[in-house]
């Protein structure tokens, strides 16, 4: 694996581009940085210089990413002053945990104060809420790659978590009280009562709220840790699972004597290369093959399936509605990594393998630190890679406890720039940008060849169950589009109305023009479109949830030499928890 560890730095480029639509704001400036070597460690904050020279001639896949929020710029002057229906921060005094009664009650055996049972989600209440203000003269933090930490930094991290675990059980900064925050926001403990809908839950997954909620959550968690060790420069490490050198759990998380240790992790994965497409069963592949597949997954979900804001962030989620569609990175690798770490010996895949218990594993925060880093990297890619400019999104609010035990109301609009929040990410290599999947074989004409033996979607009686492999021909609204048409509008595959059991880990894989029934294409091959994946959670006492899947086809069909075909052959392969999945529709659109 050593050959995968680093890449030569790309030629420096800088650019500023603007894209105009109902979603857009001014996009960020791109600037390249030298790569850090595998041997480097971080002890001190890094000095930054940002280049802002205009140059619009660039290929987004050939730009070295890594500036995070430092170079980002958002024009908020275009935001309407009034919002139609943003989701308001929950009234935490009305927090309820009955929705978790379906989960087997499992005691957490960690030796920390405030240990809750498996069904308890509610953090302490407060009668006073403060509105967030950006701190004055805040120390700027650099979040380091977890696999590159120095012994000194590891000791600091361990001490901060140790002190958090030692806080009194009724202290909102207590380790498990903080874990309850994630549990409450994603398992139906909070409702939209503050928005006038007391019977509709708040769910921060499976929508455009996924990224901003977790950014705020980590922001306050990081501030609490820093205050407990009197170090305002302390920053949460990010688990760098998108580069080969970082694709294993760092060894200091595996020391039973450390505060960073969690006994509820998959024992077979403690020293293994992570599987960013994990479907619940370990594959018979080598480490080199795992790395190649991981890099292919990263390219697919950061580039091919994230060509615009909805593709990356997820579907809109407004007051009075339910969340119904996650963005690319939330689907993969976010969900599979959760399940890969979670312990299969536990009743519900605790800790990281289930939303209600995920925050009890310290690795959760490093995992999500890297997820947050993906937001920063994605915005560096130019074109339509911009923050959402919808007032219902920007004016959605949450509440969190700060380092002084104050309950603070925050808004999505204040989370868009990491620089304003006082942090950035260590510069490391981004090898998946050069890991574009390649075709197993040219795939043109496959749909014509199978006409008469495989049904078209027009002939399918929806909804259909996905309890076995499904093949269907999907008509394309237009073929052989011009270069300009492709630049203006992406060809998208939509699988709509996916109904599934929310208490199960659910995953199915999607392939285009893959004829082989015996061996599906791997994630480093063009035929692999992506995966639908959902982590177990509860909501309002029901087991049934509904979502959608969305994937980009423009580049993929070019690579398969199938751009002139009238239809595409779609293959859906159930992997986990798909016994009761139904699909309402499958179609292709341009957007």
User: How many whole angstroms separate alpha carbon 560 and alpha carbon 565?
Assistant: 11
Tens-place pLDDT, residues 529-571: 999 999 988 655 567 899 999 999 999 999 999 999 999 999 9
Is 385 known to sit in a ligand binding site? no
> Which residues make up the CATH 2.60.120 domain(s) of the chain?
446-590
Give the pLDDT score at 520: 79
Q: Do 192 and 202 form a contact (C-beta atoms < 8 A)?
A: yes
User: How many whole angstroms separate alpha carbon 196 and alpha carbon 154?
Assistant: 46
Tens-place pLDDT, residues 20-44: 333 333 333 323 333 333 333 333 3
How many other CB atoms are there within 10 angstroms of residue 309's CB atom? 25
In CATH terms, the fold of domain 446-590 is Jelly Rolls (2.60.120)
Tokens 């209600």 correspond to 356
User: How many whole angstroms separate alpha carbon 179 and alpha carbon 431?
Assistant: 33
Positive or negative, the CA dihedral 65, 70, 76, 78 is negative
Of 334, 367, 537, 539, which one is the catalytic site residue?
Answer: 334
**Encoding tokens for residue 388?**
């959402």
Is 537 known to sit in a ligand binding site? no
Longest dimension (CA), the chain: 70
Of 45 and 343, the structure prediction assigns the larger pLDDT to 343
Share of the chain above pLDDT 90, in %: 74
Of 335, 334, 300, 330, nearest to 525 by C-alpha is: 300
Give the pLDDT score at 62: 41
Give the pLDDT score at 100: 54
Q: Do 173 and 124 form a contact (C-beta atoms < 8 A)?
A: no
Using H for helix, E for strand and C for coil, what is the string for 50-92?
Answer: CCCCCCCCCCHHHCCCCCCCCCCCCCHHHCCCCCCCCCCCCCH
Tens-place pLDDT, residues 369-393: 999 999 999 999 988 999 999 999 9
Tens-place pLDDT, residues 175-210: 999 999 999 999 889 999 999 999 999 999 999 999
Average pLDDT over residues 59-73: 37
Of 23, 157, 175, 205, which one is the catalytic site residue?
Answer: 205
Of 103, 132, 157, 182, which one is the catalytic site residue?
Answer: 182
- Whether residue 355 lies in the annotated active site: yes
Average pLDDT over residues 296-325: 96
- Whether residue 334 lies in the annotated active site: yes
> Which residues make up the CATH 1.10.1280.10 domain(s) of the chain?
136-434
Of 147, 368, 385, 537, which one is the catalytic site residue?
Answer: 368
User: How many whole angstroms separate alpha carbon 308 and alpha carbon 21?
Assistant: 10
- Whether residue 368 lies in the annotated active site: yes
Q: DSSP character for 334?
A: I
Contacts with 489 (C-beta within 8 Å, 6 or more apart), sequence order = 590, 591
Give the pLDDT score at 97: 65
Alpha-helix runs per DSSP H in 103-190: 151-166, 175-186
User: How many whole angstroms separate alpha carbon 530 and alpha carbon 37?
Assistant: 31
pLDDT band at residue 444 using 50, 70 and 90 as cut-offs: low
Q: Check pLDDT > 50 for residue 489.
A: yes
Tens-place pLDDT, residues 465-485: 999 999 999 999 999 999 999
Tens-place pLDDT, residues 391-435: 999 999 999 999 999 999 999 999 999 999 999 999 999 999 999
Average pLDDT over residues 72-93: 61
Give the pLDDT score at 85: 93
Q: Check pLDDT > 90 for residue 19.
A: no
Give the pLDDT score at 498: 97
Question: H or E stretch including 220?
Answer: helix 210-228
Q: Check pLDDT > 60 for residue 111.
A: no
Give the pLDDT score at 448: 72
- Whether residue 147 lies in the annotated active site: no
Give the pLDDT score at 400: 98
Q: Check pLDDT > 90 for residue 334.
A: yes
Is 368 known to sit in a ligand binding site? yes
**Encoding tokens for residue 535?**
């982590």
In CATH terms, the fold of domain 136-434 is di-copper center containing domain from catechol oxidase (1.10.1280)
- Whether residue 197 lies in the annotated active site: no
Is 147 known to sit in a ligand binding site? no
Average pLDDT, whole number, for the chain? 84
Give the pLDDT score at 443: 60
Question: H or E stretch including 401?
Answer: strand 397-401
- Whether residue 214 lies in the annotated active site: yes
Give the pLDDT score at 104: 45
Give the pLDDT score at 370: 98
Ramachandran class of 529: left when φ > 0, alpha when ψ lies in -120 to 50, beta otherwise: alpha
Q: Specify the pairing of strand 585-590 against strand 491-501.
A: antiparallel
Q: Check pLDDT > 70 for residue 51.
A: no
Average pLDDT over residues 8-13: 28
């Amino acid at each position: 694996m050593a050959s995968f560890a680093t890449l030569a730095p790309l030629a420096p480029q800088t650019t500023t581009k603007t894209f105009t639509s109902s979603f857009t704001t001014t996009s960020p400036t791109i600037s390249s940085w030298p790569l850090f070597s595998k041997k480097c460690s971080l002890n001190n904050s890094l000095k930054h210089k940002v280049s802002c020279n205009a140059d619009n001639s660039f290929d987004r896949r050939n730009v070295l990413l890594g500036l995070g929020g430092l170079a980002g710029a958002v024009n908020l002057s275009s935001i309407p002053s009034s919002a139609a229906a943003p989701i308001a921060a929950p009234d935490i005094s009305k927090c309820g945990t009955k929705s978790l009664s379906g989960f087997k009650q499992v005691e957490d055996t960690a030796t920390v104060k405030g240990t809750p049972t498996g069904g308890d989600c509610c953090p302490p209440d407060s009668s006073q809420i403060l509105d967030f203000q950006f701190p004055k003269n805040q120390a700027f933090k650099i979040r380091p790659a977890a696999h590159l930490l120095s012994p000194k930094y590891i000791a600091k991290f361990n001490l901060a978590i140790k002190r958090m675990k030692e806080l009194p059980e009724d202290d909102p900064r207590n380790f498990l009280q903080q874990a309850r925050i994630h549990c409450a926001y994603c398992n139906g403990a909070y409702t939209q009562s503050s928005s006038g809908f007391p019977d509709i839950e708040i769910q921060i997954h499976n929508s455009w709220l996924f990224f901003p909620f977790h950014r705020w959550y980590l922001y306050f968690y990081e501030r609490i840790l820093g205050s407990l060790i009197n170090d305002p420069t302390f920053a949460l490490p990010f688990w760098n699972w998108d580069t080969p050198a970082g694709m294993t759990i760092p060894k200091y998380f595996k020391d039973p004597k450390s505060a960073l240790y969690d006994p509820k992790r998959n024992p077979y994965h403690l020293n293994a290369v992570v599987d960013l497409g994990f479907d619940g069963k370990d594959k018979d592949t080598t480490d080199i093959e795992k790395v190649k597949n991981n890099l292919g997954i990263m390219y697919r979900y950061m580039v091919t399936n994230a060509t615009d804001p909805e593709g990356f962030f997820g579907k809109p989620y407004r007051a009075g509605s339910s969340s119904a569609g996650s963005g690319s990175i939330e689907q993969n690798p976010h969900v599979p990594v959760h399940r890969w770490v979670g312990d299969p010996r536990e009743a519900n895949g605790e800790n990281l393998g289930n939303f209600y218990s995920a925050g009890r594993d310290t690795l959760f925060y490093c995992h999500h630190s890297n997820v947050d880093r993906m937001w920063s990297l994605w915005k560096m890619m130019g074109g339509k890679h911009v923050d959402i400019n919808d007032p219902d999104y920007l004016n959605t609010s949450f509440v969190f406890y700060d380092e002084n035990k104050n309950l603070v109301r925050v808004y999505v609009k204040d989370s868009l720039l990491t620089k304003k929040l006082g942090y950035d990410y260590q510069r490391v290599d981004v090898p998946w940008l050069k890991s574009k999947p390649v075709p197993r074989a040219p795939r043109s004409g496959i749909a014509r060849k199978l006409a008469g033996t495989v049904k078209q979607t027009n002939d399918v009686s929806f909804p259909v169950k996905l309890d076995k492999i499904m093949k269907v021909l999907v008509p394309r609204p237009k073929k052989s589009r011009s270069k300009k048409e492709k630049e203006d509008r992406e060809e998208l595959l939509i699988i709509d109305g996916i109904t599934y059991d929310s208490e199960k880990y659910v995953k199915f894989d999607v392939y285009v023009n893959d004829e082989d029934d015996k061996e599906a294409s791997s994630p480093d091959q063009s035929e692999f479109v992506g995966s639908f994946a959902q982590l177990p959670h509860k909501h309002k006492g029901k087991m049934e949830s509904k979502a959608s899947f969305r994937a980009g086809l423009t580049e993929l069909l070019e690579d398969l030499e199938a751009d002139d075909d009238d239809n595409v052959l779609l293959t859906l392969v159930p992997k986990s928890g798909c016994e009761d999945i139904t699909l309402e529709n499958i179609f292709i659109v341009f957007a």
